[in-house]
Structure 1
Amino acid sequence: MTTAERLPKQDRSRATRQRLLEAAVACLAEHGWAGSTVAVVAERAGVSRGAAQHHFPTREDLFTAAVEYVAEERSLALRALFPEGAQGAERRAVIGALVDLYTGPLFRAALHLWVAASHEEQLGPRVTELEAKVGRETHRIAVDLLGADESQPGVRETVQGLLDMARGLGLANLLTDDTARRERVVAQWADLLDDALG
C-alpha cells in the first residue's frame, strides 16, 4: 500500500485539489491563457484530466479558483511575516513585501487571466468579481500592516496609491528585471508614507 493510499479519501482529495490549484497558477504564469488547458494543468499536477474535472468542472472554475487560492495563501504569508504590523523601520519592509505581491508568478498568472477575461465572455464577470475581492483584501492587509488610520483625510488614497504603484512596478518587471529601480522607488515610497501616515 502506498502512502497516498493510506491517506483518508478526504485528505487525498484536498491534496489533489491543492496540487491542481498550484499547478494552474504556475501554468498560467508560464504559458498564458492560450497555453494553459485543463489537460496541461492535470499533467503538471500529476493527476488525470478526469480528476481535474471532478474538482473543477470548467476551465474557468479551475483558473479563477487557482488565482483566488494562491492570493489567499500569499495574504496569510504576508500577515505572518508582520504579525504586529509595521513598527518604525519595518514600514519599508512591509512596503517591499506588498510590492513583491505584484512581481511574482501570482501577478503574472492574474495578468494573463485579466487579459483573457477582457475578451472571453464567460470569464469576464468571474475575474471582475475575483479582482474586486482580492483587491479589497490586499488593501485591508496594507492598511493593517502599515498601521494606517483611514479616518484621516487622504490616508485611504495614499494606501491605494501605494498598491497602484506596486501594480505598475509589477508590469514593468514583466519584460525586464526591474529590481534596482524598484528598490529605489520602494525606499522613496517608504519615506513618503512615513510623512503621510505619521
Structure 2
Amino acid sequence: MTPARTPPSTPPRTALRDPKQDRSRATRRRLLEAAVACLAEHGWTRSTVAVVAERAGVSRGAAQHHFPTREDLFTAAVEHVATERSAAVRALLSQERPARAADVVEVLVDLYTGPLFRAALQLWVVASYEEQLGARVAALETRIGRETHRMAVELLGADESVPGVRESVQGFLDMARGLGLANLLTDDRARRDRVVAQWARILDGALRAPN
C-alpha cells in the first residue's frame, strides 16, 4: 500500500514578499528623497520632474508612474521627510528619563534649519501664487505644524492648562522657524546657539513656574 503523500506546506502569507513591490517602494523612496534635495538646492523653477528622476537614477516615465504631476511629487516629498523627522523626534519620547529642555529645543530647532525646511519654504512661496498647489501645501503645513506642536508639548512635559505655557511653546516654535529663515542666507551657528540656549532657559522657567 502506497503511503499518502503529504502536500507541501504553504508559507505563511506574511512571509511572502513580492520583489516587484519592493523595487517599487525603493524607487518611490529614491524619488521622494531626490525631490527634497533638488527643491532645497535648486528651488522650484529648476526642480523639474526630469531633474528629480535623473538624480534618483530612474526614468522620467517611472517617476510619472508614481507621481502623475509635479505637484504630487513635491508635496509627497515634503510630507515623507517630515514624517521621518517626526519619527526621529518621537524617539526622544521613548527614553526612560525625561529629555532636558535644552535637548528638546536643540532637536526641534534642527527641524527648521535643515534641508526639509528649505524645501518646504520653496513650496510655500510657489503655493502663495499657484492655486493648484496652494490648497495642498496649506493642508500639509497645518498638519505638520500641529504634529510638531504636540511633540514639543510631550517632549517638554508641558501642561498647557497653565496660563502662558501654550504661548511659550508656540513662541519657541515660531522662533525656531525664524532661525530657519535666517539660516537660508548665512549659517551663523554661534549666534543661533546662544539664542537656542536662551530659549531653553525661558522654557525651563515657564514650565517650572508655580500655578
Normalised by the length of structure 1, the TM-score is 0.93
Partner of residue 70, structure 2: 59
- 2: CA distance, partners of 1:157 / 1:99: 17
Once the two structures are superposed, the pairs formed by residues 90-105 of structure 1 within 5 Å of their partners are: 90-105=100-115
- 2: CA distance, partners of 1:135 / 1:85: 26
Once the two structures are superposed, the pairs formed by residues 160-175 of structure 1 within 5 Å of their partners are: 160-175=170-185
Mark the CA change 1:27 to 1:86 in structure 2 (over 3 Å): closer, same or farther.
Answer: farther
Partner of residue 27, structure 2: 16
> CA offset at residue 87 of structure 1?
3.0
1:69-101 CA deviation, whole Å, 9 max, x = no partner? 00000000112145238736x210110110010
Mark the CA change 1:120 to 1:76 in structure 2 (over 3 Å): closer, same or farther.
Answer: same
| Partner of residue 165 from structure 2, selected from 152, 155, 159 | 155
Identity of aligned residues (%): 78
Mark the CA change 1:14 to 1:60 in structure 2 (over 3 Å): closer, same or farther.
Answer: same
> CA offset at residue 155 of structure 1?
1.2
Partner of residue 3, structure 1: none
Partner of residue 142, structure 1: 152
Partner of residue 197, structure 1: 207
1:122-174 CA deviation, whole Å, 9 max, x = no partner? 10111000110110111111111111111211211111101000000111111
Partner of residue 118, structure 2: 108
> CA offset at residue 16 of structure 1?
0.5
SS at match of 2:94: coil
Larger Rg: 2
8 A Cα contact 1:85 1:146, kept in partner: no
RMSD: 1.5
Partner of residue 32, structure 1: 43
Provide structure 2 residue ranges, at least 5 long, that are not aligned to the other structure: 1-16
> CA offset at residue 178 of structure 1?
1.6
State the aligned residue count: 192
Judge which range, 146-155 or 110-119, deviates more.
146-155
8 A Cα contact 1:86 1:146, kept in partner: no
- 1: CA distance, partners of 2:96 / 2:174: 21
Amino acid at match of 1:110: A
- 1: CA distance, partners of 2:133 / 2:80: 17
8 A Cα contact 1:38 1:49, kept in partner: yes
8 A Cα contact 1:103 1:169, kept in partner: yes
Return structure 1 stretches of 4+ with deviation > 2 angstroms.
81-88
